[in-house]
Structure 1
Amino acid sequence: MNETADLPAVPVPLRLLNRPESWKVEGEDTLVVGAGARTDLFSDPGGPDRFADAPALVGRLDGDFMLSARVRLDTRATYDAGVLLLYGDAGRWAKLCLELSPQGRPTIVSVVTRGVSDDCNSFPVEGDDVRLRISRIGTAFAFHADPGTGFWHLVRYFALDGDLECGFLAQSPTGEGCTVRFEEIRFRAERLKGLRTGE
């Protein structure tokens, strides 16, 4: 699959990783991705289930950077999610999600996969949109979320080996599909200064 998307807010072309039901670029800084039914990216640490068919658009970003987006999720079913993604291969990736929880609440969720996935629910948010951010800091990565307060909350700080691509994913593991709007996408080729403060 060689099709790529040019998004002015991101300095590299984004390649398709699993074909979305739909996708489009709107203006300078918005990407809309539609996930099909029963699509997911997860490797169960307690069983044999491995899922790697959720659609994404990813590109290789070098050096220290910060990539953020306001995520608006058309929530329909449990685990529908809009995701900022780090991707090496099917067994090595990490995702920061705005995901609909089993309790029916949009929730900040992070997953890091090294062969199998871990899965951590951080905190619920009000409404159906939030800002998410991935930062690379040397050999480490940081996930932050801003639920509308203007403060970037640290969700996760971790390392993941190898060449990784970064981008945007939509998933609908239990549902009939969902649409995610990634708005106000911002890329900064800068090193995050305050890991705990999010500055």
Structure 2
Amino acid sequence: MRWEAEPGKMLCMTSFRLPGVPDEFRSLRPGEGEATVDGGTVTLRAAAGDDLFNRPGTDSVVQSATVFAFPVEGDFMLEAEVEVDFRDCFDSAVLVGHLDGLQWFKLCAELDEVGRPRIMSVVTRDRSDDATGVHLPAGPVRLRISRAGTMISLHYHSEGRWELARYFGFPLTGSEGGLKVGIAVQSPRGKGTTATFRHVSFRPTGVTDVRSGE
């Protein structure tokens, strides 16, 4: 069943639509994961240990994170203001691009080992490549993932401008499902948390200048 969020109306659902986004957000794990939608605001809940990570040097593949995504073709930008109820190390709000279980990427606002929020990014081609970014001030932060051709750029918004977190090639090969992009929450070392996503927006165009984010 499809639902479209209405202002002032809170719904718990396994799929939903948001204004300005061209397709329906659906859970990547059918039958699992629930979103609470209030107008254009989405809240996702992570259970204890939920994660999205293919650990390097091991056979470990963890795909338990709550992820809601929709299919895209061609160039795009997906943006959202995210806020996390930080409780434990590595609790995160996430923007994600997902081709399949062995090919995906994510941009996170995450609580680090010393209890400070920071930008993190992961690019997975069989095994995950994890990169630590800058510390963030307390409170909401705006994240963006985008594609131009075969290139992906990950940005966060700070002090009135977009800052580049990561830039990499990501050819869409070897998967029948196509790329999906969306939002997620995780709590890999914690007892669970929630992440809130506001002002979610989508544009069918890529970033022209990855360094400036414009």
Q: Structure 2 length as normaliser, TM-score?
A: 0.87
C-alpha separation between the residues in 2 aligned to 1:179 and 1:41?
A: 15
C-alpha separation between the residues in 2 aligned to 1:91 and 1:63?
A: 21
Q: Is the 8 A contact 1:54 1:169 kept in 2?
A: yes
- Are 1:178 and 2:193 an aligned pair? yes
**How far is the alpha carbon of 1:135 from its aligned partner?**
0.9
1:6 to 3, 12, 17: 17
Which letter does structure 2 place at the counterpart of 1:160? F
Aligned length in residues:
195
Q: Secondary structure at the match of 2:161?
A: coil
Q: How does 1:77-88 map to 2 (within 5 A)?
A: 77-88=88-99
Which letter does structure 2 place at the counterpart of 1:37? A
Return 5+ residue gaps in structure 1 as ranges.
none
**How far is the alpha carbon of 1:9 from its aligned partner?**
3.1
Q: How does 1:1-199 map to 2 (within 5 A)?
A: 3-18=14-29, 19-20=32-33, 22-27=34-39, 29-147=40-158, 149-162=159-172, 163-199=178-214
C-alpha separation between the residues in 2 aligned to 1:143 and 1:78?
A: 22
Q: Is the 8 A contact 1:146 1:152 kept in 2?
A: yes
**How far is the alpha carbon of 1:182 from its aligned partner?**
0.7
C-alpha separation between the residues in 1 aligned to 2:208 and 2:138?
A: 29
Q: Which has the larger radius of gyration?
A: 2
C-alpha separation between the residues in 1 aligned to 2:59 and 2:209?
A: 39
Question: Which region of structure 1 is more displaced relative to structure 2, 113-122 or 39-48?
Answer: 39-48
Deviations 1:131-177 (A, max 9, x none): 10011111111100113x11111111112232210000100001111
**How far is the alpha carbon of 1:66 from its aligned partner?**
1.0
Q: Secondary structure at the match of 2:201?
A: strand
Which letter does structure 2 place at the counterpart of 1:155? A
**How far is the alpha carbon of 1:49 from its aligned partner?**
2.3
Return 5+ residue gaps in structure 2 as ranges.
3-13, 173-177
**How far is the alpha carbon of 1:4 from its aligned partner?**
2.4
Deviations 1:9-42 (A, max 9, x none): 311011112322x412221x32111111110000
Q: Secondary structure at the match of 1:152?
A: strand
C-alpha separation between the residues in 1 aligned to 2:20 and 2:82?
A: 15
Which letter does structure 1 place at the counterpart of 2:204? A
Q: Is the 8 A contact 2:15 2:35 kept in 1?
A: no
Q: Structure 1 length as normaliser, TM-score?
A: 0.93
**How far is the alpha carbon of 1:128 from its aligned partner?**
3.1
Using the aligned pairs only, state the percent identity: 40
Q: Supply the RMSD in Å over aligned alpha carbons.
A: 1.4
